[in-house]
Structure 1
Amino acid sequence: MIELFQMGGPLFMSILTIELAAVIFFAAKCFINKEHSVSQIKSAGLLAAITGILGQLIGLFSAFEAIQEIGFVSPAMLAGGLKVSMITTMYGIIIYVIAIILSLILKAKH
């Protein structure tokens, strides 16, 4: 897990982890205070998904820029780079799914 965190890039993976903490915070706030802040949970989750996609796009841009400078890159190296670029997107979407599940649970409770 730590290896994936490092491969995904410390900047975007840290931002995504903070956004996961925000999702959990808003869910706990809604559960404890019985406030209807379900939209905050969904918004924080959506922000995580978009941040993950942005991280992937910036990573792909950097990778394609390096490929352009080098000229030839083996297909295996290209596939490895594409795989690494998807880590932030997967993490962001997982956080969004968690946010949706938590919001559905809290809606059912109220």
Structure 2
Amino acid sequence: MSVADLLKENFIDGGPIFMTLHYLMWILVIVFTVKATKTLHATNCDYQKLEKLSTTILFIGGFGLLFSLFYRAMGMYSAFSVLETSGDISPSLVAGGLKASLIAPLYSLFLFLVTALVWFVFRLKSIEVKFAGSLKSKT
């Protein structure tokens, strides 16, 4: 199974509406990371802009994680409501449903881990730039 097939299968199993929002969050994180990198490598680096961009990146990751947990809770509530009214359900069907309900939170957890790492790196760089700028102004 190729990566594209796996992403397509998880897109369908995770719920097309949420997974579309999730992929849009990934695109936003990539766009803001590129902007922050350009800001960092500019000749006159603005550390405040760099801090705002890195904070935005972290916010998108955190929001994606919280939104996916909310989405999962709604799905589990609906699933348990159906199980309650159905009566006898096979354990393999329940396990498959639980597996499918974990797709969105796993993708969002990975997004959050990446955004936290990107935030940390840019945060260190912005402190470095701020410190270097304050040294230049003193001399």
Q: TM-score under structure 2 normalisation?
A: 0.73
Out of 7, 13, 19, the residue aligned to residue 13 of structure 2 is 7
Out of 8, 30, 47, the residue aligned to residue 24 of structure 1 is 30
1:56 and 1:86 in contact (8 A); partners too: yes
Aligned-residue CA RMSD (Å): 1.3
Within-5 A mapping of 1:73-92: 73-92=89-108
What is the number of equivalent residue pairs in this alignment?
110
Partner of 1:57: 73
Deviations 1:34-90 (A, max 9, x none): 322211111010011011111211111121111122111111111111110011111
Q: CA deviation at 1:13?
A: 0.6
Q: CA deviation at 1:101?
A: 1.4
3-state secondary structure, aligned to 1:50: helix
Unpaired runs of 5+ in structure 1?
Answer: none
Q: CA deviation at 1:103?
A: 1.4
Q: Name segments (4+ residues, structure 1) moved above 3 Å.
A: none
State the identity as a percent.
26
3-state secondary structure, aligned to 1:26: helix
Q: Distance in 1 between matches of 2:56 and 2:15?
A: 26
Q: Distance in 2 between matches of 1:65 and 1:75?
A: 16
Report the structure number with the largest CA radius of gyration: 2
Q: CA deviation at 1:108?
A: 3.7
Verify: 1:102 aligned to 2:108, yes or no: no
Q: TM-score under structure 1 normalisation?
A: 0.91
3-state secondary structure, aligned to 2:89: coil
* Matched AA of 2:75: G
